[in-house]
Chain A
Amino acid sequence: MAIDPLKTVGHDIPRIDAYERVTGKATYNRDIKLPGMLYARVLRSNVPHANIISIDTSRAEALPGVRAVITHETHQLIYGSGSISGGRQYNDAVKDITRRLRHMFPNPVRFVGQPVAAVAAVNRHVAEEAIQLIEVSYEELPFVLDPEEALQPGAPAIWPDGNMAHDDQNRQEPIGSQSGDIEAGFQQADHIFEDRYTTAFVQDAQMEPRSALAHWEGEKLILHTPTQGVSNCRHDNARDLGIDDHQIQVICKYMGGGFGDKNGSYYFDLIAAMLSKETNVPVMVELSRKDDWLGTHGRWHTVQDYKVGVADDGTVTAIQMNALSGMGPYLRRSGNIGGIDAYGCPNVDRKIYPVHTNRMVSGNFRAPQYPQGYFGIQSFMDNIAYEVGLDPVEFALKNMRKPTEEEPFTNYSLDQCIEQGAEDFGWRERWRSEPGSDPGIIKRGAGMGFAIFNSTVSPSSAIVRVDSSGQYTLFVGVTDIGPGAKTTMSLIAAEALDVGVSDVDIVWGDTDRCPYSIGESGARTTTSTGYAVMQAAIDLKEQIAAKGLPADDEVLIASATPNPSGDGRRRACFGAHFVEVEIDTELGHVGIKKYVAVHESGRILNPLPARDQIRGAVQQGIGQALHEDLLYDVRNGHPLNAGFYGARHITHVDAPEIEVSFIETDDGFGPFGGKTVAEMGIICPPSAVANAIFNATGIRMKDLPITREKMLEALA
C-alpha cells in the first residue's frame, strides 16, 4: 500500500528537547530541589516471608537529623495500584472488593525487599544511617519461590486460600481462551508434539532509579514522580489517599526510562506523601539501585507446556498450552502469556495460571506478556517445522494468522514482513537445512521469528490554543519516557495545523495544566493521545478558517477526546526478525552476526526515533535471550544478582548492529495512519536467537536465558 507523503510527519526530526538532553539541562526527578526538603530512605525486609512481631524505631528517631519515622504501625495505607486495579485503564471497583490487599507497609512481609519502614531526615546519609537503627523482630514463616511448588498441596500459604492468583472478581480461574475444538484438532493431526519451555524473570531496569518528591499546599498534594502516565498516577494516588483527583498535582517532565516499570503510581509515592504530611516540608524518597531492582517489578517468569498437532503437510491443527506465571506475592498485572495468537490454527486451548510466590513482584515490562510466550511457541513451532521437513519460513507463511471473514484486519502485512525480511537477510544463503552442519568449532546458523501486536486506540485528550501572534500551544498529559512522545505530539499538531514544528509550544507532564492522557504504556501514546492531538488541531484549523486568527489578547482553543474504533476490524502491527548467530562450540559463546528486523507499524510518523525504538527493543530482547535473570537462594529466599552487573545487562561491546526497515501503510485510522512501534521490537528476539542457535548447533535451548554456562552444558 503506497502512502502519500506529508509535509512534517514522516521526516526525520530530531527531538524538540534534544538540546536539553545533551547538555544536562533536562531536569529529572532527583534533580529537583525545594527549599527545606528532606530525604527519605525505605527499610526493606531481609526475610522472604514473616510476621512482623515488633518494630523498635526509637534509636532511629533519636539520631540527630531524623525528622520522621513511619511503619505499618503508624500508617496503614492500602496501595491499591499494587493489586489488580491501577489507573483508569483498570477497574476502580476492584480495590473495593479484592481480598488480597497490598499495603504500603505490609505485615506479614512476603518477599525480600518489601518495604517495612521509612525515615525522613535532613540528608540522605542520615536517613540511611537511621534505617540501620530500626530493629525489626520477625517471626519467620515457610516460603516458596518456585511457581510449580507453590501450587503443590502443602506448599507454604502466602495467602489464606492458596497461592493461585485471584482474578478481578476474586476467582481462582486460569487466564485462557478456547476456540474451535481442541480434541478434533488433535484427531486431525498426523503428528503430535509436546514440550516445555521456560523463561526467567527480568527487571525493567530503566537507568533512572525511582524517587518521589511530595509536598502539601494545604489539602493539596504536589507530587513530582517519574511515572508513565501522570493522569493515571494522580488517579491511583488519589484513590489510595482517599482524596479527590483534583487534590493532587502530579508532575513528571523528564524521565530516565520506564519500560512499564513506571506505570501508574507506586507505594513510594504514598510514603513520600505521608512523610511530607508528618513533617510539613517537602520529602524526596529515593530508592537505591538495589531498592529499585527488588522493590519495583519485572517481567513475569513462566513455565509453558505445549501440545501441538500437525498434519503431514505441515498445517498446525491444534495448539494446547498449560502454563504458569510467577507473579511474586501480589498481582500487579495479569500474568498472561501471548504468542499463540500469531498462528491461524482454529483449535486452541490456552490456560495460564498466575501464581504467587515469595519472590519479588512481577509486572509490566515492554510488551508484558509476549517475549516469554513467543519464545515458547515460536521455538516449539520452529522445532516442529524441522520435524515435518519444512523450512521455518515456509512453515511460518503456512501457519501464521491471516485475515478471515470473521476476523478482518484494517490492513495486513505479516506475509510481506516475513518475505521482505527473508530477502533482506539472505535467508536462503544463511539458513542450513541440516542443523549443526557448519563444520568446525565455530558454527553459524540462522533463525527467525514473527509477531502480531495489537495497535489499539483508546480515549485520550488534547487541547490546542492559538494566540494573535500565530503561536500555537499544545497541552497534552504525556510524559517522555524515551521514545520521544513530546516530539511526536508536536509534529502531529504541526502537520494537522499546517505550520512548522517550532510554531507549536508544548505543555506536558503536569496534571494541573494538561488534560487526561492514557499514559505511556502499551505503546499507545501516539495512537491515542496523538489521535486526540490531530482531532483538536483539525478543529482549531477549522475555527481559524471560519473566524481568522484571534485579535489582541484573544485566543482560540480546541480540544478533543475522541474514542475511535477500528470500524469492527482488528488493527495490528506486524513484524519479522531474522538473525544469524555464530556459536563458539568450545567456549560456549553466542555472537550475533546479523540481525534484520522488518516491521509494519502503519505510517512512520518520525523515522529517526522509530528506528531506534526497534533497535533498542531488539537489544533488550537479546539481553533477555542470552543474559538476564534473577537468581534466588532456595534456602534463605534471598535474590543474589540484582543490578546491572549481576544480571549481566548487555554493554556497548555486546550490542550487535540491528538493521531495521519499515513497510509503510496508511489504513485510514490513527493519527495519519500511525500505529504503535515501541513494544513490538522486543517480542521476537528470544525465539529468533534460540532458533538460530538450533540451526547452528542442532541443540534446542528451551530455558531462558541461554547463558554461556547453559550453552556449555548443552554442548558437553
Chain B
Amino acid sequence: MNGSLHQIEVEDRWTLIELLRDHLELTGSKIGCNRGECGSCTVLVDGEPVYSCSTLAVWADGQDVLTVEGLEKDGQLSVLQQAFMEHNAPQCGFCTSGQLMSATALLEENPEPTVDEVRHALAGNLCRCSNYNAIVEAVMDASRTGDA
C-alpha cells in the first residue's frame, strides 16, 4: 500500500475502498456511487486504474496499491498534482483523487498523450462540476512539463 507492506485481516465482503477508507485511514479516495459509475474511488492496482468500490479487499491480497496519498514524495507534489493546482482542476474536489490516479497511470504509460488520448484515459472519471476542460489542460500541461 503506497509502497509499504500492510498485514490486515479483512472481512470477505469489504470492498477495497472500504479497506482504504475505514481501516487504513486513507480517506483521499472517495465513494461517489459505490457501483462503478463515477470513478471517485479510482486507485492504481499493480499500476492500473481500477474502481476500488468494485473489487474486494481480499482480492487485492499481495497486490501493489497506490492511492492519492502516495503521489506526494518527500514533501514534493507530483507534476500532475502541481498542474492540477495551477489549472484549477479541482472544483469541489471530490472526483480529483480519482482523476489524478487515472492521469498518473496514463502518463506513466504514455508521457506524451494527445488531448483525445487523455479524454479516453479519463473516460471513467466523471466530474459533475464538469470541469473537464481544466482537468484535460492540467494533464496536458503535466505531460509536457514532465517530459521537459
Contact = CB atoms under 8 A, between A and B. Distances in A.
A509 to B, nearest CB: 14
A657 B133 contact: yes
Query: Which interface class (under 10, 10 to 19, 20 to 34, 35 or more) fits A?
Result: 35 or more
A23 B93 contact: no
A482 interface: yes
B108 interface: no
Contacts of A643: 33, 35, 37
Nearest to B98: A207
B97 A620 contact: no
Given A27-B27, A650-B130, A652-B132, A21 B37 contact: no
Interface stretch (B44-52, B55-63, B67-75): B67-75
Contacts of B107: none
A616 B129 contact: yes
Contact of B92 (A206, A288, A651): A206
B37 A257 contact: no
Contacts of A288: 34
Main secondary structure of the interface of B (DSSP, over half): loop
A31 B27 contact: yes
B130 to A, nearest CB: 3
B34 A15 contact: no
Nearest to B100: A22
Given A21-B90, A257-B91, A619 B132 contact: yes
Interface stretch (A105-113, A142-150, A212-220, A607-615): A607-615
Contacts of B38: 207, 289, 644
Contacts of A608: 88
Contact of A652 (B71, B94, B135): B135
Contacts of A125: 11, 13
Given A207-B30, A208-B32, A18 B126 contact: no
In this complex, the member of B84, B127, B130 whose beta carbon has the largest number of chain A beta carbons within 10 angstroms is B130
A616 B89 CA distance: 11
Contact of A612 (B11, B40, B124, B134): B134
Interface in A284-313: 288-289
Contact of B27 (A18, A24, A619): A24
A24 B68 contact: yes
B143 interface: no
A257 B119 contact: no
A616 B91 contact: yes
Interface in B102-127: 118-120, 122-127
A206 B123 contact: no
Contact of A207 (B72, B92, B136): B92
Contacts of A207: 30, 32, 38, 40, 92, 94-95, 126-129
Contact of A21 (B40, B96, B132): B96
B24 interface: no
B88 A15 contact: yes
Nearest to B80: A22
B92 A481 contact: yes
A124 to B, nearest CB: 8
B92 A644 contact: no
A645 B37 contact: yes
A653 interface: yes
A408 interface: no
B88 A644 contact: no
Given A24-B29, A644-B33, A650-B130, A208 B92 contact: yes
B92 A24 contact: no
A483 B134 CA distance: 13
A23 B69 contact: yes
B145 interface: no
* Most chain A CB atoms below 10 A, which of B96, B126, B128: B128
Nearest to A621: B130
Contacts of A617: 130
Given A207-B92, A208-B92, A257-B94, A23 B132 contact: no
A19 B135 CA distance: 15
Contacts of A557: none
A208 B6 CA distance: 28
B131 A23 contact: no
B71 A651 contact: no
Contacts of B11: 125
B33 to A, nearest CB: 4
11 contacts: A18-B88, A24-B97, A255-B92, A289-B38, A484-B91, A619-B132, A649-B126, A652-B118, A652-B123, A652-B127, A653-B123
Interface of B: 11, 13, 21, 26-35, 37-38, 40, 67-69, 71-72, 77, 81, 84-86, 88-97, 100, 118-120, 122-136
Which 10 A-B residue pairs are closest in the complex by CB-CB distance? A24-B28, A256-B94, A619-B130, A482-B92, A655-B132, A21-B93, A482-B91, A31-B27, A257-B92, A24-B68
Given A22-B96, A209-B32, A616-B131, 18 more contacts: A15-B85, A19-B77, A19-B85, A21-B84, A21-B93, A22-B77, A28-B94, A30-B27, A30-B30, A207-B129, A208-B32, A256-B30, A612-B133, A619-B132, A652-B118, A652-B136, A653-B123, A658-B133
Interface of A: 14-15, 18-28, 30-31, 125, 205-209, 254-259, 288-289, 480-484, 608-609, 612, 615-620, 623, 643-645, 649-653, 655, 657-658
